[in-house]
Structure 1
Amino acid sequence: MEQRTFQLFNEWCIVHYPEKPSGFGVLIIGDTQHFVDEKSSFWLQHYGRNQMLEELLDAGYTVFTSNLYGKHWGSDKAAELVILLYKYMIKTEILNHRIHIITEGMGSLLLPKLLHELSDKIRSICIVSPCVSLRHYAEQEKHQRLFFKRWLQEVSIAHQQSVESTMGSISTILENNWSVGDNPLFIAHIVERGKYEGQIAHVKTIFEKRTSNGLTTEFHYIMPEKRILLMRKMIYFMRKFEKVL
């Protein structure tokens, strides 16, 4: 697997090159366990994600991602870095200017901010077990006091504000009016007791609203034992939107 790492604003980024490039790029925005360092990344070290990465490369996609300051929880700082990464990739690589995006969990919180800047640069979006509302996530976790306290600290650091300010703003600036505009959207919900299980009602509402408005949207329930089929489904979805360059 050919790849290279580089830094943008002191954050490590990585790009993986397919043997037979199609000219299309895929940006990955991971969940809380996601990382990129000088020599490796979560998608290289995790067996399941590594398999998914291989499928993307076999399909001809150039795949890129960034460390994004670790647990960013949808921060403006992380969104700005993703936009910079997109511009850097288009400038330095031979890629079609309209890319696909794949997000997991917390990574989905960045999408509304990215679409504000890059809407016409996004070919399709695939979200996996997404977190789409910090406020509802906070309400879900409040009963776990130690975890909740640690989580609040993570969010306050990510959003560069005090814990006290974070507590006061959970229902305002941290409430995410989640939308990806008119862009084609693929939603995959892994059926397991994950930390974002409480988000499913909000995701269903998004799906129903988009469907009623005639926007291209797919919703798939994926059983854990069928997870191996997930990337195949996403690639099939993405290819539908590659006919117009």
Structure 2
Amino acid sequence: MSTVALGAWRTRFELIQYFRSGDTLVFTFLFPIALLALFSAIFGADGDFSAGPGLPAVPVAQMYLPAMLAAGMLLSGFQNLAMDIAGERTNGMLKRLGATPLSPMSYFLGKIGQVGATSVIQAGLIIAFAAIVFDVPLPTEPEKWVTFAWVFVLGVVTSSLLGVALSAVPRSGRSASAVIIPIVLVVQFISGVYLFFFLLPDWLQTVASALPVKWMAQGMREVFLPAEYAVLEQNGEWNLTGVAIALAVWLLIGLLLARLTFRWNRRDA
């Protein structure tokens, strides 16, 4: 079988295993929705929110929706994959797979396929929840959804490849959560997931510009926020070209790191 065919077969296997894990399902699908509901309830008690003079007021949930979509991609790809692969390496599954015709690239494709499929479901649930429960207006222009699609695809693939690379850091599956979760939390705070990005100090916005999550969220803000809100970005524009370049660069970095660091066994095993 070809690399792609083996990757497709592996995607099917990964999805079956994923949907058999109830705790993973609850965390992946409900956590971003719970955060969206929590932030909307806390900061939206006084009604719609305006970020500054001359900017139209919008529901708080609309302000947080792009960040929650970016966080969902990060959790599904970066965090979950890193922890899952570290666990598979510890319990010997990767060693057994290494003795089969499955190549690392087919293995990566299977993981990315699983993350992609589940991320589509997750994003659909978050958007539907925001629209139905908090009356967030959804874009009507086709070009907005085209932007959503390419930002989403680049974000999912980039997060997945970086997750594969990060899986080499924990020395065991038992220590994976202690190593990976703090990294994910820090990245989210720096990138303006839990705080509105325009409220972060300039130096922290500059730091965030070196991370892919900031660009995922920025692309999503262009899709779901009014055009006037572009003035709140670093350079006063959505800069979709910059979003595409940054995510493409991080995708290539993730692919290189994943291929260089991935081992069926730990080096010191």
Q: Same fold (TM over 0.5)?
A: no
Higher strand share: 1
TM-score by length of 2: 0.23
Indicate the structure (1 or 2) with the bigger Cα radius of gyration: 2
Higher helix share: 2
